[in-house]
Amino acid sequence: MQINRLVFPGFWFDRQDISFAEELARLGVGGFCVYGGSLAQIKQFTQRVRRASPLEKILICADYEDGLGRWVKDAPRLAPNLALGAAGDENLAFEKGLLTALQARQLDIDWVFAPVLDLADTPNNPIVNARAFAADTQTVTRLARAFISGLTQGGALNCLKHFPGHGQTETDSHLAMPVLHRTLAQLNQHELIPFIELFKHTHGVMTGHLLLPALDPQNPASFSPAIQTQLLKNQLGWKGCVLTDALLMRAIGDEKQAAIKALLAGSHILLAMNDPVSLLDFLHKNPANPAIVQEACAQIDALCQQAKRLAARSGGSLETLSTFNQRAAQAACVQTGKITLNKENKIKLLALGDQEQRGFAVFEETLKQEGVNVVSHGADTLVLLSLSNYKSFKGHINLSEQELALARKEIKQHSQSVLVCLGSPFAALDLQQEVQSTLHAFCPLDAFQQTAAEILLGKRAAKGNLPVAL
């Protein structure tokens, strides 16, 4: 039964039945990571699996990096980390952590798998991007520390990810194995700095499914004794819990062999596999060293006690939740060049990179409310709206060659043009020299669309500083 505690299955609402999770809970798994669902569904889930479990405490976890809204259908999504990096405001980072924790605790969720400490220093990275705070280690460390402080005050455990740093890769590990071409000296000067600085504030370290040939040419960080035991534990002195990234990712191949390798490398928690029942059966038929299991259970016991203490002393108010994104947007937006739109202009709006069909309705409506004439033909001013952003299993980011060609054709047909990035700032790399102005808003949340429009209307100043190099 002890080995079962090391397994933390994922649970996907509307794809799986709670009775399946209850059966896993009865088998003694150590916790769950929840994806999707509504507030009511998640609350019911946590109650039912806790009742089903024979354990005194199981840990319910979630990837709520931007509040609950990325996963929970009736909860608000909060401004992405990169927007907070542009704002540079520790108070906003603290508040984001606090609001996230308070919402999570209302659902009886113990552990928020955040913050992301990866550096936003590679334009074609398809999976980090706006999840990171910045390209520089100082900003990442400063804002992540404030975010962690907010999570702690709100009563939630936190987790640093993705060790030793997922920034300088160009492959989505959900699809294939990313390779990080960094030496140990380079890691010590860049990627590892936020981890080292924040070890004393965290409850766990999540390893990344990425290969570092300079440290281990055979095994990704999630299975590598050289990275998990020698580097993370022995050289850097991390004594707490180590957990894998989701085992369902295609980068790792067979999840059963991956689980065994992860335990041998130094992991304590096996997270979110495709087939937890088969994995449990496999682990019983191929038992790990008892010492490994005992150490992992001790780490999980310690986390359970920490979760109880945090929940008991959590404090704070959700009163500012409704205005958080508005305040973040007003502090974050960055503008280069200046174009002011008014009633004299005829504006054409053209969306690029909108594979998720998010649209730009709030942006357009804000312009129209001020009397700006939005037209399909005969416009003098072109507003390009890039909505390109990261998405798991998507495999790419920024604008395609076809979209760039369309943008350039339209730019030539208008007397002036502006690019508004409602997503990845790196989407501007190929067009920023061809437009008169670029406005970075970092995400398509309503408050950011409205603020971006107000800046172009001259009603508001852009106050942020770009947290990445373009």
pLDDT of amino acid 187: 96
Peptide bond into 166 cis (omega under 30): no
Same domain, 359 and 268: no
Of 268, 294, 323, the residue at which a domain comes to its end is: 323
CB 79 within 8 Å of CB 448: yes
Q: Is residue 176 part of a domain?
A: yes
Same domain, 348 and 292: no
Same domain, 289 and 345: no
Q: Is residue 426 part of a domain?
A: yes
C-alpha 390 chain-centroid distance: 9
Same domain, 247 and 352: no
CA pair distance 371, 366, nearest whole angstrom: 9
Q: Is residue 470 part of a domain?
A: no
pLDDT of amino acid 169: 76
What pTM was estimated for this model as a whole?
0.96
Same domain, 223 and 270: yes
CB 61 within 8 Å of CB 8: yes
pLDDT digits (tens), the chain, 470 positions: 799 999 999 999 989 999 999 999 999 999 999 999 999 999 999 999 999 999 999 999 999 999 999 899 999 999 999 999 999 999 999 999 999 999 999 999 999 999 999 999 988 877 788 899 999 999 999 999 999 999 999 999 999 999 999 877 766 667 677 888 999 999 999 999 999 999 999 999 999 999 999 999 999 999 999 999 999 999 999 999 999 999 988 777 789 999 999 999 999 999 999 999 999 999 999 988 999 999 999 999 999 999 999 999 999 999 999 999 999 999 999 999 988 898 888 999 999 998 777 889 999 999 999 999 999 899 999 999 999 887 665 666 788 899 999 999 999 999 999 999 999 999 999 999 999 999 999 999 999 999 999 999 999 999 999 999 99
Same domain, 268 and 345: no
Q: 385: domain CATH number? A: 3.40.50.10870
Same domain, 448 and 369: yes
**Token digits of residue 454:** 């107000």
Q: Is residue 462 part of a domain?
A: no
Q: Is residue 468 part of a domain?
A: no
- Phi, psi dihedral angles at 65 (to 5 degrees): -70, -35
How many residues in total does the chain contain? 470
CA pair distance 143, 136, nearest whole angstrom: 11
Same domain, 275 and 401: no
pLDDT of amino acid 251: 73
pLDDT of amino acid 396: 65
Into how many domains does the chain fold? 2
Q: Where are the alpha helices (DSSP H) in 125-254?
A: 137-154, 184-189, 192-198, 225
Same domain, 299 and 408: no
Of 323, 358, 392, the residue at which a domain comes to its end is: 323
C-alpha 270 chain-centroid distance: 19
CA pair distance 219, 434, nearest whole angstrom: 44
pLDDT of amino acid 177: 78
Of 262, 294, 323, the residue at which a domain comes to its end is: 323
Same domain, 390 and 445: yes
pLDDT of amino acid 178: 84
pLDDT of amino acid 322: 95
Q: Is residue 328 part of a domain?
A: no
Q: What is the DSSP string of 308-329?
A: HHHHHH----STTHHHHHHHHH
CB 201 within 8 Å of CB 162: no
Same domain, 171 and 193: yes
Q: 77: domain CATH number? A: 3.20.20.300
Q: Is residue 362 part of a domain?
A: yes
pLDDT of amino acid 172: 63
Domain that holds residue 172: 2-323
Q: Is residue 463 part of a domain?
A: no
Same domain, 267 and 414: no
pLDDT of amino acid 363: 97
Q: How many CB atoms lie within 10 A of CB 150?
A: 24
The residues assigned a catalytic role are 174, 245
